[in-house]
Structure 1
Amino acid sequence: MDNQSTVTEFRLLDLSSFPEIQQLLFMCFLIIYLLTLDDNLSICLAIWTDTTLHTPMYFFLVNLSLLDISYSSVTLPNMLVTLVAKIKSLSFSSCMAQLYFLISFAGSESFLLALMAYDCYMVICQPLLYAPIMNHRTCMCSAIAIWIGGFVYSMLHMFFIARLPFCGPNEINHFFCEIPPLIKLACMDTYFNEVLIFLLSGLVGGSCFLLISTSYAYKLSTIMKIRSTQGRCKTFLTCASHLLTVLLFYGPGFFTYLHPSSSYSMDTGKVVSVFYTTVTPMLNPMIYSLRKKDVQAAFKKAMGRSRK
């Protein structure tokens, strides 16, 4: 290994093996990125300008929108460049930075979804204790904690990844720096590192998902006790958007990070990565916020003020 040169940059592969559709992919992902920015920024603007929406649920929605913007901005701009650039390379430090922020925002979103599930649990199952517990101070401290927690979680991942020796080849079978294809390039046995990353991802992601699942079990039990059919449906619909967001986030995430490396398919991994780095951040505001009439009304009010 002393006679081998250290890798200073990585070469990224195209998203598709058909060069003739590269421009079409560029236009598609550019539109997706612009929609992601527009929808999530619109939610932030609507909630910020309407004081009636200054509640814990909408405060957490703003954080979710900011995370979705950050999450997609880590990968999409660079992917758009590689789709049209002849040289598809990324320096070692840029690759590590991209991976660090990607894991950070993913970890923060995992914590946030668990916190939103707890907020919904308090609304349905403990309505009398909701106001004293979910006050302004609690929400602010919780938001700061989930952002810091995401960065600390990413540091633990990067401790095991950045220390790996990369001596060549330097071709990442992906369109951005992702853990499974990157580890395969290390010039050493990575079994121990893969086990540690698997356990770390399972501990954090699995714990948050278990908390969310437990909260839904209590919420469903409470909903089923409601005598009115209309009341049950209305109460369940308050959680339906969050449940769909959880499935869209954890499904691809568990496939990528909790999948045995021996049976991990790079082609399948690319498709899944496209989904959770581009499609999910675009869909979240549509399925979670823009369907709510009060957010739509606040957005129209904000647009009316901006035109005056």
Structure 2
Amino acid sequence: MEKLTGGKAESPRETWLLTGGAGYIGAHVAESLAGAGKRVVVVDDLSTGLASRVPAGAELVTCSVLDTEQLTDVMRRFQVDGVIHLAAKKAVDESVSQPLHYYHQNVRGTASVLEAMSSAGVRRLVFSSSAAVYGVPPAGPVTESTPTAPINPYGATKLICEWLVRDAAPALDLSWISLRYFNVAGAGRPDLGDPGATNLLQLTLQALTRGARPQVFGQSHPTPDGTCIRDYIHVADLADAHLAAVRQLDRPDSPELHDVYNVGCGRGASVLEVLRTVQRVTGIRRPYEIAPARPVDPPDVVADPARIQAELGWSAKHDLDSMVSSAWAAWQHAAVVTVSAGTGSHP
């Protein structure tokens, strides 16, 4: 059964529904929209999200995106003007071991959102995609026209969802924007940190605070220091990219918009650069451990953000130091909360 916080209110000019809005990225997007004066309705099954992350004043409906009937009812009830679809499974390793689960959750979930939008007459969509759709791109900055060739089920589901949105749009009279995120990091506030430990920054913080050596997968890549280079984007900047997409879809002169944008800084940081920054910010210094290189790791993946800068007026504001400092503050906050709760270890 759905759980509603707050009653039905007079609908303002714009109401945006966020699937997965109680998650790490979703909570930041919800904050950004609310701060811009949008009415926010969050739909989240709370399997990984937290109700406490939903900003004050936003509505929370506990619901799975797979429940098309309930989604349709929510869109009608709150007179939704547009949808930001963030809800998805996103762990690459898990997608390899559970591909059917990922296809069901991500692809079927997106189809359900589109079906609900069609039934409720909602015509604007921002879709949460990923740089994983590019797989191992050729050398040089990654543009939106770089060939897509995902190398894992997670990336494949995101690309298929993009195709699904693109193909459904003419039939549903849908305007849409797909945002391909690069490596998301940092926190807008200490209480909105990334609860997972699957990316380099979180894994490094975990290792250093637990007395272990951070792992580096290979040091013979064709890069200046031999380690992989990635484009890291602060989650607060990513949230503002969603707001820029919403504003673009709101424009009266773009009623049939359909576009794909990379969301990255346009500059890369190597694994060793990230490790050095983490050690400097935290003050915890331990030698790293070289592990065998993973054959599926491309040496250098950096976004070309020129298109989103030119067309949506968005650009990243935070640097690597800011990402690491905010992630460290969030890590410390979570540790204090965990100790206070009596579990004795970081979540």
Q: TM-score, normalised by structure 2?
A: 0.23
- Return the structure number with greater relative CO, CA threshold 8 A, min gap 6: 1
Q: Which structure shows the higher helix fraction?
A: 1
| Structure (1 or 2) with the greater strand fraction | 2
Choose 1 or 2 for highest CA Rg: 1
